[in-house]
Amino acid sequence: MVTRLYLDGCSLTYGQGLKRQDSLGSLFNTRGGYQVIDNSRQGKSNMSIAFDAYQNFQNADIFVLGFTYSSRFGLKYNDQNLDFFTGFHGKGLALEPATLDIAHTEMYKYFYSVFGPPYSENLSDMLIDTSISFLNSCNKKVLGFSWENRKTVRQLEYPMIGPNGRLDDGHLNVKGTEQLFDFLQNILNE
C-alpha cells in the first residue's frame, strides 16, 4: 500500500521557477514513493497552510508542512485564495468577479498598517502549534519546517540551503530542492 503524503507551504515548498517534475512534491512522489497531495503555492500564508491541512486531515498519513513568513496572511472567498504578503501591494489578481479583485486591492492599501509584529508572529506560532497538535491527535505523522525562526512549543526543522541551491530571486533551484527533499526524507526515515 502506498503511503499518502500531504505537502503544503509557500513558493519555497512549491518550487517557484521550477518545472513541475523538479518540484518537491514531484520528488516525494518519484523518489520517495508517496502518493502526494501538494497544496503548496506561491505567497501562501501560515493561516492558509493551517486551514488547508485541517481540511485535508483525513486524506493523508504523513503531513509535511513548510511554514512560511509570519507577515503573510490569507483569506478564502468561495474557491478564491486571497493572499496578502508584503511587497505585493495589492496589484490585482484578476479575480472573478471583478468586485472581489477590487475589494482585495483596496484591502491591501490598509491591511499592513494594522497587521504586523508581535501579533503576526504570535498568530503564526499559535497556528503552527495547534496544527501540529491537531494532526498528531489524529495519529498523523507530521514534519513541520520553517524558513523563519519561530517560538513554537512543537519542534520545527530549519533547512539550510546555501546560495548554490538558490535562484537569483532567492527561491530554490533544482539542486536546492533536491537538498530540501533529502533533508526532509532523512527526517521522515528516522
Question: Could you tell me if 46 and 67 are in contact, meaning their C-beta atoms sit under 8 angstroms apart?
Answer: yes
Give the domain range for residue 142.
4-71+118-189
Mean pLDDT over 32-36 rounds to 98
Give percent of the chain above pLDDT 70.
95
Are residues 131 and 98 located together in one domain of the fold? no
Are residues 181 and 110 located together in one domain of the fold? no
pLDDT, one tens digit per residue, over 115-142 is 999 999 999 999 999 999 999 999 999 9
Tell me whether strands 80-84 and 73-77 are parallel, antiparallel or unpaired.
antiparallel
Read off the C-alpha cell for 103.
475589494
Are residues 93 and 163 located together in one domain of the fold? no
pLDDT, one tens digit per residue, over 139-183 is 999 999 999 999 999 999 999 999 999 999 999 999 999 999 999
Are residues 9 and 100 located together in one domain of the fold? no
Q: In this structure, what is the dihedral angle of CA atoms 134, 139, 141, 143, given to the nearest 10 degrees?
A: 10
Are residues 128 and 151 located together in one domain of the fold? yes
What predicted TM-score, i.e. pTM, was given to this entire model? 0.93
Are residues 12 and 40 located together in one domain of the fold? yes
Report DSSP state, residue 28: H
Rounded to 5 degrees, what angle do the CA atoms 93, 79, 102 make? Answer: 35
pLDDT for 117: 93
pLDDT, one tens digit per residue, over 48-74 is 999 999 999 999 999 999 999 999 999
104 against 40, higher pLDDT: 40
Cα-based distances in Å from 190 to 114, 129, 148, 153: 43, 22, 24, 21
Are residues 23 and 106 located together in one domain of the fold? no
The H-assigned helical ranges of the chain are 11-14, 24-30, 46-55, 98-114, 119-137, 174-189
Are residues 9 and 30 located together in one domain of the fold? yes
Mean pLDDT over 74-79 rounds to 88
Q: How many domains does the chain have?
A: 2
Are residues 86 and 168 located together in one domain of the fold? no
Report the C-alpha gap between 104 and 13 in whole angstroms: 25
